Each structure stands twice: as C-alpha cells, then as structure tokens.
C-alpha cells in the first residue's frame, strides 16, 4: 500500500462509482479448449482391414468345418446313448476328428432341431460328411442300433394322459417321468406354451401315428418326436389355410379334436360345418354359439361312466359346452390328419344339429323342429 498515492486511490474509487459498482470488474473467463486429437487415417484404415481379415478368416474356417472341406480323411464309429444330448454328441464328433468347432456344430444343431432327429445307436461316420450329412447319418432309422426298441401305434383321438399311459406300458419310460416332461420340458415349438405347467399344454399336438422308440428313452425326447411329427404335418399349405381363417392354430386344432371325438371319420366335414355354423350363430338359428358337444364335457369328467345326465350338464367347467358358448379352452384330444383337414375344409351346409341314428350314422338337421322330430322318431339311436 505504501507505493500507492492517495489521489490514485481516489481516482480509482471514483471511476468505479461512475460505473455503478464498487466491486472489481469481472475479468473475462478464458476457457482452455481441449484440442481434439486427430486419428491417423492410415492407422484407422489399417485397423479396419485387420479386423475384416480376422472376421473373414474365422468365417472361412467355420464354412470349411460346416461343409467338410479339406479335412483329414477319417472314418470311425460313433455311439449315441440315451444319456447323450447335443453337447455330448458334439464332443464325440470333435474327439473323433469329424468336426473342429463344437460350439458351431451345437449352434447349427439347435437351429436344425438335431436332437429330435438323432437316435440311439452306433453309426459309421466319416470326415467327408458335412454337418447336415452327419445329423442325417445319425437319424433314428440309420446305423446299427445298439439299444432295444419298441414300436408304438398311438390311436387318433387319444388324450395326452392316454398317450403317456400307452408309452409307459410299452417301456418307453415311466408314466411319472413322461408326465413330468409333459408339464415341465421346454419344447422348442411356438405352438407349445412353455410358461404353462399343465398337462393340457400338449393336448392336440401329440400327433397320432406309429413310432419306434427306445426302451428307456429320455421322456422329453420321446414326446418331442410326436410334436416334431405334428409340426411336419402342419405344412405350408395347411398353415396358409389356418392363417386365412379367422381362427388361431390352437382353435383349429381344438375344432379338429371335437370332430375327432364326435365321429368315426365318415362325416367329419359335415360335423365341422355344424361346429362352424353354431360358432357363428348369434341367435337366428337358436344355438347362440352353444356347441353342446358331449365329448368336451367328458374330457372334464375322465372317470365318468355311462350316459351323460342332466346333472352332468350343470357342471361348472369351461369344457361343459352345454353351459358355456364357444370352444373349450384347449383341444380335448390329439386329432389325426383327416380331422385336421376337416377343420380346415368344412362342408358348406345349413346344418346346425346332428344326432346318431340306429343305423350308426349321424343325421343332420337345419332347424330345431326338424332335429326334435328326429329325436322323437324310432330312428334316433339314443
């Protein structure tokens, strides 16, 4: 302070007063800008080329393995047991020198549903086989089977419970294990609700056919084979018809199951027409969407014996189509292909009623009066 003169201080103070403030003027804030480092374009291009070359090289190695290019000649026997899954099969193929990249084979196998195609047995394989050929060569019908097999014919119209009981009786696996798999196994089909743990989630999709199973076969694999067959039967043409209808696949299969249980197969298209006509009826024909199908009620009464009574028809169940309009919540059986085709191709009729005659045939009626006349005649089969 000794170096300042009073007049200098006064001059400075008066100048600040004229400026309207007594505090020092804020000094402009100079921010130091961070300079962006420029990437060397040569290094960037080099990095991209190196990464591309690595990816191309890895891709070429995978393609070589998939297509069986340039492999050392190998021919060997590979055994698949009931304990094997896709991972252990890939291990065996790798150990035998037939595939180089186990993870890639497993990835392809999952996409190709290989575990459902590969059967128990001993197979002669060689390194000229690509992934598709290896899976095909280990198909259930190929190779020298080393496990005991059993042939099972599943009748059309069997329920899931009946199907499981039949498989168990033939030694495919125990009823308990098959039931557990039916409820809990994660099936790789979008028509199966894997969030459900009810047995009915498989109802309608265990396709009735003749199968060769292995005695003691893994229960999930055994049931998967039936589902795989169903998936194959629902080919592009049939699925186009499903999509062209106003019904979902589940509803179509439910209708097919009702058809399957209601007739012996001689008049399925007419039965289908009655179901569709009733579903569409808002009251003008007196049915109001009520299907009144006995087989659905009996599905909810598995231990029922004898004829359905009026008391049975009062049962509070969504499968009681005397009480609830529309379709039951699930299929009531596993329909065959004829019933599925009838559901997709119903006859065009004005029928809303049918009843079994003494001649063993269904008699169809357009009106309730006509139907009642038949029920009161000597031709009604009861």
Consecutive sets of 10 residues in the chain, 382 residues long: mean pLDDT of each? 44 46 49 56 68 67 81 87 87 92 89 82 88 86 63 97 97 96 93 95 97 88 93 96 96 98 91 97 91 96 90 95 97 98 97 94 95 93 80
What pLDDT sits at residue 57?
61
Q: What global pTM score does this model have?
A: 0.72
What's the rounded Cα separation, in Å, for the pair 382 and 376? Answer: 10
DSSP tally for the chain: helices H, then strands E:
15, 6
Number of other CB atoms surrounding residue 201 within 10 Å: 19
Element (H, E) at 183: helix 175-184
Note whether 163 and 125 are within 8 A (CB): no
| Residue 96 burial by Cβ neighbours in a 10 Å radius (0-12, 13-18, 19+) | middle
What's the rounded Cα separation, in Å, for the pair 256 and 343? Answer: 5
What pLDDT sits at residue 247?
97
What's the rounded Cα separation, in Å, for the pair 202 and 163? Answer: 11
Taking Cα atoms as reference points, which of 356, 377, 339 lies closest to residue 207?
Answer: 339
What pLDDT sits at residue 145?
52
């Amino acid at each position: 302070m000794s170096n300042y003169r009073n007049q200098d201080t006064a001059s400075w103070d008066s100048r600040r007063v004229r400026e309207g403030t007594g505090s020092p003027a804020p000094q402009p804030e100079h921010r130091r800008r961070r300079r962006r480092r420029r990437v060397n374009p040569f290094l960037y291009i080099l990095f991209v080329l190196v990464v591309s070359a690595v990816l191309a090289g890895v891709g070429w190695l995978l393609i070589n393995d998939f297509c069986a290019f340039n492999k050392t000649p190998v021919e060997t026997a590979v055994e698949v047991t009931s304990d094997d899954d896709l991972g252990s099969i890939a291990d065996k193929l790798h150990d035998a020198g037939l595939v180089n990249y186990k993870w890639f084979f497993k990835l392809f196998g999952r996409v190709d549903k290989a575990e459902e195609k590969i059967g128990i047995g001993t197979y002669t394989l060689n390194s000229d086989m690509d992934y598709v050929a290896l899976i095909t060569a280990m198909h259930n019908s190929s190779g020298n089977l080393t496990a005991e097999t059993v042939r099972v014919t599943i009748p059309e119209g069997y329920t899931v419970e009946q199907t499981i009981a039949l498989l168990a009786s033939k030694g495919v696996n125990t009823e308990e294990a098959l039931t557990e798999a039916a409820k809990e196994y994660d099936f790789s089909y979008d028509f199966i609700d894997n969030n459900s743990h009810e047995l009915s989630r498989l109802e309608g999709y265990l396709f009735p056919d003749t199968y060769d199973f292995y005695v003691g076969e893994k229960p999930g694999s055994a049931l998967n084979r039936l589902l795989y067959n169903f998936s194959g039967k629902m080919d592009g043409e049939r699925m186009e018809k499903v999509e062209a209808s106003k019904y979902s696949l589940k509803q179509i299969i439910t209708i097919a199951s009702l058809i399957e249980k209601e007739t012996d197969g001689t008049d399925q298209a007419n039965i289908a027409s009655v179901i569709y006509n009733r579903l569409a009826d808002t009251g003008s024909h007196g049915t109001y969407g009520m299907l009144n199908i006995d087989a659905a009620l009996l599905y909810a009464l598995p231990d029922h014996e004898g004829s359905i009574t009026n008391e049975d028809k009062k049962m509070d169940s969504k499968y009681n189509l005397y009480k609830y309009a529309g379709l039951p919540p699930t299929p009531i059986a596993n329909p065959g292909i004829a019933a599925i085709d009838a559901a997709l191709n119903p006859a065009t009729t004005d029928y809303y009623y049918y009843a079994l005659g003494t001649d063993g045939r269904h008699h169809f009626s357009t009106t309730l009066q006509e139907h009642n006349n038949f029920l009161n005649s000597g031709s009604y089969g009861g």
